[in-house]
Amino acid sequence: MKTDILIVGAGCAGLYAALNLPSQKKITIITKSDVESSDSFLAQGGICMLKDEEDFPGYYEDTLKAGHYENDTKSVEIMIWSSQDVIADLMSYGTNFHRHADGSLDFTREGGHGTHRILFHRDQTGKEITSHLLEEVRHRENITLLEHTTLLDIVEKDNVCYGAVIAHPDETIETVEADYVFLATGGVGGLYRHSTNFRHLTADGLAIALKHGIACKDTNYIQIHPTTFYTDSPKERSFLISESVRGEGAKLYDKHMKRFTDELQPRDLLTKEILKQMEKDGTDFVWEDLRCIPHDELHKHFPNIVEYCKKMGYDPDKECIPVVPAQHYYMGGIKVNHQSGTSMERLYALGETACNGVHGKNRLASNSLLESLVFAKRAAAEVKLQQVPLKKAPELFENFDPTPYEDRDALAKEYANLVQAEITRLNQITKDPVIAEYRR
């Protein structure tokens, strides 16, 4: 198979990159699952936008403070200053954000933010954004979308990427020759016992990068979400009780139904407080009280969460719900420059798979959709500018041997081990406690 640009991943990063590439290029997007099974569809809270120039210092400082000042400051500046442009694009595709009665945009607030600067669509902001990106992609004749098609490896020689090895839904294995490959394979949650991520997001892009010696960064920077609905079934994806629920007033209680911490701390600090409290109380969860949010606001802003709690047997209008921390977001990833280029020629990494340092050691809430979109557009812009004729390596494709890829379970295990070993190695060096358990 041949294509001009192969995009691996149909989340917001992969889709938006495709929409920003030249329309005369043949673009192929593959996704391991169906197109709606990406974390981009799950985002509940919202997407940040710089409201006006006066908010720049506050937004910048909140992002750096949450990231423990380990952020790449240029990436942070780029993300914030590009936010209005990206939001305008989203609205041009038909994305709706909540508005006041006078038509002006409404903003909400989440933990770690000094002010209200987050756009939202009920508690389904990610679905609203990504479904419109998807609709737009489906209208473009130059873009082909292949579902249930999995990246198994890249094809490279002398640090230049010439394409990829993929598996089709019927398990046939094939190579794809491409001028550029964009890895947008999402996060690492599928490797963890408790995670809010889709279970098929097993850090494949990162594993392939480690295998080929492509530079990676902050590989052990994992964000744990402090509040997910407690379930004792580890096979299920953990359901997130959005940060903005706490932003709108929900409170956390210990086993005696007493508040024990400030609910609006950054995620990593709050997670530590909750885990400490659970240990002290000898419990598997703490309680979250959504009754502190005015009734109408709770039902209007968080209908999805209310419905889920009821489905699980808890009525949030009448009682507290059990919540527990779970793996949620990956700050580390394949190291990229400000145009999303990796250390390998003609290979780009986008979205949660990539690390441009914007989040530092800890992501500020609602910065990830924005970061994924801003830097996906920059990768597309960079590729658009390339004028140099590209080298071809037909021999890599003619002599391709699929045998090493045929045992898919063994390959998945090899890739999981590569990533977990690297995370563990770095945790030992930095002496960071491992608070999330791997999936067995």
Ligand X SMILES: Cc1cc2nc3c(=O)[nH]c(=O)nc-3n(C[C@H](O)[C@H](O)[C@H](O)COP(=O)(O)OP(=O)(O)OC[C@H]3O[C@@H](n4cnc5c(N)ncnc54)[C@H](O)[C@@H]3O)c2cc1C
Place of tokens 């050691």: 361
Contacts to ligand X from residues 264-283, by CB under 6 A: none
Instruction: Output the six-digit token pair for 185.
Output: 């394979």
Nearest by Cα to 161 from 376, 5, 19: 5
Q: Which is nearer to ligand X, 265 or 283 (CB)?
A: 265
CA gap 50, 55 in Å, rounded: 7
Among the listed residues 32, 346, 265, the one whose alpha carbon sits nearest the alpha carbon of residue 169: 32
User: Which residue's CB is nearer to ligand X, number 14 or number 322?
Assistant: 14
Is 408 annotated as catalytic?
Answer: no
Shortest reach from residue 258's CB to ligand X, in Å: 28
> Judged by CB under 6 A, which of 8, 27, 188, 252 binds ligand X?
8
Calpha distance 136→193 (Å, rounded): 35
* Cβ nearer to ligand X, comparing 246 with 260: 246
Q: Does 240 bind ligand X (CB under 6 A)?
A: yes
Which CB, 186 or 316, lies closer to ligand X?
A: 186
Residue (260 or 366) nearer to ligand X, CB: 366
Range 212-215 contact pairs with CB under 8 angstroms and sequence separation of 24 or more = 212/154, 212/156, 212/344, 214/334, 214/335, 214/342, 214/343, 214/344, 214/347, 215/334, 215/335, 215/342, 215/343
Shortest CB 439 distance to ligand X, Å: 15
Question: How far is it, in rounded angstroms, from Cα 368 to Cα 61?
Answer: 16
Part in contact with ligand X (CB under 6 A); list of ranges 66-74, 345-353, 395-403, 428-436: 345-353
**3 state SS of 432:** coil
Rank residues 75 and 366 by Cβ distance to ligand X and give the closer one: 366
Q: Which of 267, 346, 363, 378 is catalytic?
A: 267
Closest to 206 in 3D by CA, of 196, 226, 221: 221
Angle CA 140–346–39, to nearest 5: 55
- Residue 151 in the binding site for ligand X (CB under 6 A): yes
Among 352, 383, 423, 436, binds ligand X (CB under 6 A): 352
Nearer to ligand X, 71 or 185 (CB): 185
Most distant CA pair in the chain, distance: 69
* Binding positions for ligand X, 180-219, rule CB under 6 A: 184-186, 196-197, 201, 204
Q: What Cα–Cα distance (Å) separates residue 49 from each residue in 97, 325, 338, 368, 379?
A: 12, 27, 19, 12, 20
The nearest distance, CB 428 to ligand X, in angstroms, is 27
Considering the complex, state which of residue 33 and residue 420 has its C-beta at the smaller distance from ligand X.
33
User: Residue 436 has what DSSP assignment?
Assistant: S
**C-beta separation of 238 from 195 below 8 A:** yes
Report, in Å, the least distance between residue 282 CB and ligand X.
28
Q: Are 128 and 96 in contact (CB under 8 A)?
A: yes
| Least separation in angstroms between CB 355 and ligand X | 12
Those residues whose C-beta lies under 8 Å from the C-beta of residue 18, and which sit 6 or more positions away, are 5, 7, 27, 29, 137, 140, 143, 380
Q: Which helix (H) or strand (E) holds 304?
A: helix 303-311
**CA distance linking residue 197 with residue 368, whole number of Å:** 14
369 is an interface residue for ligand X by CB under 6 A: yes
Q: Which of 5, 11, 50, 214 binds ligand X (CB under 6 A)?
A: 11
334: contact with ligand X by CB under 6 A: no
Q: Which residues, numbered 18-57, are part of the site for ligand X (CB under 6 A)?
A: 30-33, 38-40, 42-47
Q: Which stretch binds ligand X (CB under 6 A): 5-13, 282-290, 318-326, 395-403?
A: 5-13
Size of the site for ligand X (CB under 6 A): 41
Residue 112 touching ligand X (CB under 6 A)? no
With contacts defined by CB under 6 A, name the span among 11-19, 209-217, 283-291, 420-428 that binds ligand X.
Answer: 11-19
List beta partners, residue 151.
Answer: 166
Tell the smallest beta-carbon distance from residue 395 to ligand X (Å).
25
Q: Which residues are catalytic?
A: 267
Binding residues for ligand X (CB under 6 A): 8-14, 30-33, 38-40, 42-47, 125-126, 150-151, 184-186, 196-197, 201, 204, 240, 329, 351-353, 366-369, 372
